[in-house]
Amino acid sequence: MVYVKGAGRDEKGFYIILDETPFYPQGGGQPYDTGTIDDIAVEAVRWSEDTIRHYVSVDPSLLVDKSVCCKIDEARRHQNSRCHTAGHLLGHIVEAFYPELKAVKGHHYPDGSYVEFSGSIPVDLDRINQELMRVIGLDCAVHSWAESTKKFVQIGSYNAWPCGGTHVKSLLELGQVVATKQKHSCNLVRINYNLLL
Ligand SMILES: [Zn+2]
């Protein structure tokens, strides 16, 4: 059980602050979790300075100092974890094929996922897609861990990567991942990708 430390209202609506939260707040290129706190729908979860605000549509002030039951929308979380992990894998594969390109930004949203790389050389999307399919077929484990306040993720034998997002446990959970297009601008290469399943 967790308990409600505070409640309030800002320009985005009513919010709840928990002593500790199982909800993932939007950040690191990954969307927030939704779910419920007791039976109140959590519509968005966002950082506000160093606290996490869980936005709800009703005034939650009666819950302050009470224990509550939190439930996350697991299907949404899993989809976000798949999308996010696929972005890491795409980054590793592109960097392995094209050492001049370095992944600098990920946007792991279902409606338009991409990874941005510093550099300007064109990439062979067919080759990348074949490698995505091959590596996912190996079903490598995905390890996530924390060292003091920093979190890391490692896919198979690729280098560990600092990341506080959520990830799948094995690559087969990704299904088929397809790099769909590349865009070049200002010494950046943006590669869009989709999850087909
Ligand atoms: Zn990550």
List per-block mean pLDDT (blocks of 10 residues) for the chain, which spans 197 residues: 94 96 93 96 95 96 96 96 96 97 93 94 97 95 92 94 93 95 95 91
Same domain for 63 and 107: no
Q: How far is it, in rounded angstroms, from Cα 148 to Cα 171?
A: 26
User: What CATH number does residue 50 fall under?
Assistant: 2.40.30.130
Pair (111, 129) in one structural domain: yes
Q: Note the pLDDT of residue 1.
A: 81
Q: Please check whether residues 131 and 155 belong to one and the same domain.
A: yes
Q: Are residues 16 and 109 in the same domain?
A: no
Q: For residues 98 and 19, state if they share a domain.
A: no
CA-to-CA distance for 92 and 103, rounded, in angstroms?
A: 8
Work out how many domains the chain is built from and give that number: 2
Q: What is the pLDDT of residue 122?
A: 95
> Any idea how long the chain is?
197
Q: Are residues 82 and 174 in the same domain?
A: yes
Could you list the residue range(s) of the whole structural domain that residue 130 is in?
76-195
- Single-letter amino acid, residue 63: L
- Token pair in block for residue 82: 């798949």
Ligand 1 centroid–CA 139 distance in Å is 17
**Are β-strands 113-118 and 102-107 bridged in parallel, bridged antiparallel, or unpaired?**
antiparallel
Are residues 25 and 82 both part of a single domain? no
Same domain, 31 and 121: no
**Measured in angstroms, how far is the CA atom of residue 64 from the centroid of ligand 1?**
33
Question: Rounded CA gap, 143 and 155, in Å?
Answer: 6
pTM: 0.92
Last residue of a domain, one of 51, 72, 93: 72
The sign of the CA dihedral 27, 88, 104, 182 is negative
Task: Please give the pLDDT value at position 153.
Answer: 94
Q: Ligand 1 centroid to 111 CA: how many Å?
A: 18
DSSP state of 171: G
Token pair in block for residue 151: 């979190």
Report the pLDDT value the prediction gives residue 86, as an integer from 0 to 100: 96
pLDDT at 60: 95
